[in-house]
Amino acid sequence: MKQQQGTHTVEHTYRCDVCNRTFRKLDTLKVHQRVHTGELSYHYEVCNKTFSRTSNLKVHQHVHTAERQYRCDVCNKTLRNGGNLKEHQRVHTGERPYQCDMCGKTFSHTSSLKAHKRVHTGERPYSCDVCNNTFKRTGTLKEHERVHTGERPYSCDVCNKTFSRTCDLKVHQRVHSAERPYHCEVCNKTFSIRSSLKVHQRVHTGERPYRCDVCNKTFTSTSNLKVHQRTHTGEHPY
């Protein structure tokens, strides 16, 4: 292996023959190549899940052991590693150290900044291999893929209803808890869903953004517009 002397770094000598990415160590290259081959060499016997790296396996094991060694000194929330704790603490400090160089918007995580920049570039690098729909985030792609697989991995611990997204589960759980966290500052009415609050606020603002393309009548919500459009089509769905 060729090396440079003094303060210079070791040359990248190991190259992936699929994507041409280079690595300083052969072991690192071998781990990387599993991205292309799909090889998952490390198996967890508790849930039979497999991983391409031992580090990923160890992180996953915490899901089962509930090992959370890092505690926030503000709210006592526990995290699995120091990096997660540092990111979490920005909830309390309001720190947003990562800034978009195009519009100046700031973010608390580098991943959020990276995803935001795609608003400017139009980049949608994650593609569904079933329908070719593209997405800006891997998480959004993963959620979309459940449309094809029918997977609903999130279950309500009260009624066992299942959901494809954690956010949908969280909204559903308010049916049981009666939680209504969204509050109108004008009349104090509360709502369980942010979108319902937004529609309600149009009562106060007079905003009616949805227009019938037949008679130009306007509405505060898409649902009201759809009901109205049946007066033109004669549709009686119920």
pLDDT in tens, 67-83: 557 888 888 888 878 88
pLDDT of residue 7: 42
pLDDT of residue 213: 93
Whole-prediction pTM value?
0.48
Q: What share of the chain is helix, strand, coil (3-state, %, to 5)?
A: 40, 15, 45
Q: What are the tens digits of pLDDT across the range 116-144?
A: 999 999 999 998 888 889 998 888 898 89
pLDDT-based confidence at 29, cuts 50/70/90? Answer: confident
For range 88-96, the mean pLDDT = 89
Domain covering 14-64, topology: Double Stranded RNA Binding Domain (3.30.160)
Domain covering 154-205, topology: Double Stranded RNA Binding Domain (3.30.160)
Averaged confidence pLDDT in the chain: 82
Quickly count: other Cβ atoms within 10 Å of residue 194's Cβ.
Answer: 10
Domain covering 70-123, topology: Double Stranded RNA Binding Domain (3.30.160)
In the block, tokens 């700031």 appear at 106
**Residue range(s) in the chain whose domain bears CATH number 3.30.160.60:** 14-64, 70-123, 154-205
Quickly count: other Cβ atoms within 10 Å of residue 219's Cβ.
Answer: 19
Tokens in use for 2?
A: 């060729």
Question: Cβ distance 186 to 204 under 8 Å?
Answer: yes
Q: How far apart are CA 87 and CA 108, in angstroms?
A: 7
